[in-house]
């Protein structure tokens, strides 16, 4: 199964909003609401940020939000802060193959 497609990098100034896209197919991202997002700081384990496309687990800032349209999911970070500088990965579960796939990853830089 091919990795979901994300932009390699996205940047923004403090306080701005940025959006990271995650494009798959009608078999994964577009099939159901099984999209999740993970944040990874250098040298650290990934951290769970968003599930079921747009839900935030407790403890995750409401500056992070998720959405989906067709085969493309998106993660928006509003009020960008220096601590948001990290790699971000989307993931989707595929019902037909009972498997998961990750996105290619996006490096967020705070200017």
Partner 1 sequence: VQLVQSGAEVRKPGESLKISCKAVGNIFTDFWIGWVRQMPGKGLEWMGIIRLINSDTKYSTSFQGQVTVSDDKSINTAFLQWSSLKASDTATYYCALAVDGNFYFDYLGQGTLVTVSS
Looking at the chain, which runs of residues are DSSP E strands?
A: 9-12, 18-23, 35-40, 47-50, 64-69, 72-77, 86-94, 99-102, 106-110
Site for partner 1 in 37-96 (CB under 8 A): 38, 40, 45-48, 51-52, 57, 87, 89, 91, 93
Identity of the residue, 39 or 110, whose beta carbon is nearer to partner 1 in the bound complex: 39
Q: Can you tell me the distance from the alpha carbon of 34 to that of 89, in angstroms, rounded to the nearest whole number? A: 14
**In this chain, which stretch among 16-24, 34-42, 68-76, 77-85 interacts with partner 1, using CB under 8 A?**
34-42
Of 73, 105, 108, 110, the residue at the interface with partner 1 (CB under 8 A) is 105
Give the three-state DSSP class for 21: strand
Site residues, partner 1 (CB under 8 A):
1, 3, 34, 36, 38, 40, 45-48, 51-52, 57, 87, 89, 91, 93, 98-105
């Amino acid at each position: 199964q091919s990795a979901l497609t994300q932009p390699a990098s996205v940047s923004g100034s403090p306080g701005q909003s940025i959006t990271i896209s995650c494009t798959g197919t009608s078999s994964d991202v577009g099939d159901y609401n099984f999209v999740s997002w993970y944040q990874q700081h250098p040298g650290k384990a990934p951290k769970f940020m968003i599930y079921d496309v747009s839900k935030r687990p407790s403890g995750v800032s409401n500056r992070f939000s998720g959405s989906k349209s067709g085969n493309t999911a998106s993660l928006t970070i509003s009020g960008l802060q220096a601590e948001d500088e990290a790699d971000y990965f989307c993931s989707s579960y595929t019902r037909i193959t009972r498997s998961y796939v990750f996105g290619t990853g996006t490096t967020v830089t705070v200017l």
